[in-house]
Amino acid sequence: MLGDKKVLYSGMQATGNLTLGNYLGALKNWVNLNEEYECFFGVMDLHSITVRQNPAEFRKRAKSLLALYIAAGLDPEKNCIYYQSHVSAHAELGWILDCFTYMGELNRMTQFKDKSAKHADNVNAGLFTYPALMAADILLYQADYVPVGRDQQQHLEITRDIAERVNAIYEGVFTIPEGYYGKRGAKIMSLQDPTKKMSKSDENPNGSIYLMDDPDTIVRKIKRAVTDSDNSIRYSEDKPGVSNLLDIYSAATGKSIQESEKDFEGKGYGDFKLGVAESVVDVLKPLQDNYNRIINDKAYLEEIIKKNDDKARYVANKTLRKLRKKMGFTDIPR
């Protein structure tokens, strides 16, 4: 609890270009959570360096993610939107939690196995201890809830295990977080392989719609989306391509799947794809307009960053001080 509200914490890595999947599946659903919860949304730039980054591009991406949070409708006066690397408590608690995390546990993480296969030339210790840093993110803010997709559930589980382990020795340091399953975001799949999640790290750019894609690109990518040959527009497990497009349309318009099927009754795949593309253009247009305005307003962004970094630091340092004291670290003279 912070004040009279429960705390909700989430964030995204500042790597790659965000996709429609990130937006419809996560970001869009974070808007207005601040009415019920005290919300923190981090730009997870410390996590990004487990993979080598080009400095200029990295700086641009991180800023762009922050601007996108705001463009998507997260009010930076009501939510704490900040850079993870601006709050040194993350790295400090990350180290402490490394000492409460077992190699065996980390070895079981499927994301570590996937990522070390993908970056076989750079399997660094940070990639291995990534979950302990993520635990630090969540626990610093005493989060009650963490909205996470399926791919991050294992990381939330290990966070809970670590928190319980620490609490068993140093009573009452951390709140034990739970997954947030309020309004589940849509799970958007790749346009080229609808059995795989749409991913910002996909090598094939035609599989993903990026949030900054222009209307022509969106239409072209959706026209090329993999479907099937039976030419009927219905939601079904054996029609992953068509079902994915229906999911996209439904999430973009706010209509149910049934209503979405109805909208295309008697139509062919050509019209269907055009309709889906239009719905995506419509949902991204205001986001892109907002983004372009915000990213060019340097003074505004700077002010937001300062204010929110301060707020994050205040809350995070409070937790860190409490733990330091219980563990027996010497007080830092003021």
Q: Does 13 sit near ligand TRP (CB under 6 A)? A: yes
What are the φ/ψ torsions at residue 152 (nearest 5 degrees)? -110, 5
Distance separating alpha carbons of residues 297 and 102, to the nearest angstrom: 45
Please state the closest distance from residue 111 (CB atom) to ligand TRP, in A: 8
**From candidates 38, 137, 247, 263, binder to ligand TRP by CB under 6 A:** 137
Part in contact with ligand TRP (CB under 6 A); list of ranges 116-124, 132-140, 207-215, 222-230 = 132-140
Pure H helices in 141-268:
153-169, 215-223, 240-253, 257-263
Structure tokens at 285: 């247009």
CB nearer ligand TRP, residue 17 or residue 217: 17
Please state the closest distance from residue 6 (CB atom) to ligand TRP, in A: 15
Binding mask 231-250 for ligand TRP (x = CB under 6 A): --------------------
146 close to 156: Cβ distance less than 8 angstroms = yes
Distance separating alpha carbons of residues 198 and 112, to the nearest angstrom: 19
Q: Does 62 sit near ligand TRP (CB under 6 A)? A: no
Distance separating alpha carbons of residues 276 and 252, to the nearest angstrom: 9
Q: Among this protein's residues, is 306 annotated catalytic? A: no
Site residue total, ligand TRP (CB under 6 A)? 13
Q: Does 9 sit near ligand TRP (CB under 6 A)? A: yes
Distance separating alpha carbons of residues 203 and 191, to the nearest angstrom: 13
Distance separating alpha carbons of residues 24 and 68, to the nearest angstrom: 13
Q: Among this protein's residues, is 197 annotated catalytic? A: yes
Instruction: Give the helix/strand (H/E) hosting 80.
Output: strand 80-83
Please state the closest distance from residue 263 (CB atom) to ligand TRP, in A: 32
Written as one letter, the residue type at 217 is T
Please state the closest distance from residue 283 (CB atom) to ligand TRP, in A: 22
**From candidates 81, 87, 97, 146, binder to ligand TRP by CB under 6 A:** 146
**From candidates 17, 32, 124, 152, binder to ligand TRP by CB under 6 A:** 152
HSE value, Cβ hemisphere, 13 Å, CA-based, for 308:
25
Q: Does 194 sit near ligand TRP (CB under 6 A)? A: no
CB nearer ligand TRP, residue 13 or residue 279: 13
327: CB partners within 8 A, 6+ apart: 96, 170
71 close to 287: Cβ distance less than 8 angstroms = yes
Part in contact with ligand TRP (CB under 6 A); list of ranges 130-138, 209-217, 256-264, 321-329 = 130-138
N- to C-terminal Cα distance for the chain? 28
Catalytic residue among 6, 63, 187, 200: 200
CB nearer ligand TRP, residue 116 or residue 152: 152
Part in contact with ligand TRP (CB under 6 A); list of ranges 10-18, 199-207, 221-229, 299-307 = 10-18
Please state the closest distance from residue 235 (CB atom) to ligand TRP, in A: 27
Catalytic residue among 115, 221, 239, 273: 115
Largest CA distance in the chain: 75
Please state the closest distance from residue 285 (CB atom) to ligand TRP, in A: 26
Nearest to 140 by CA among 334, 329, 315: 315
Q: Does 11 sit near ligand TRP (CB under 6 A)? A: yes
83 close to 49: Cβ distance less than 8 angstroms = no
10 close to 74: Cβ distance less than 8 angstroms = no
Distance separating alpha carbons of residues 168 and 240, to the nearest angstrom: 46
Part in contact with ligand TRP (CB under 6 A); list of ranges 9-17, 163-171, 220-228, 290-298 = 9-17
Active site residues: 115, 197, 200
Contact positions vs ligand TRP (CB under 6 A): 9-13, 44, 47, 134, 137-138, 146, 148, 152
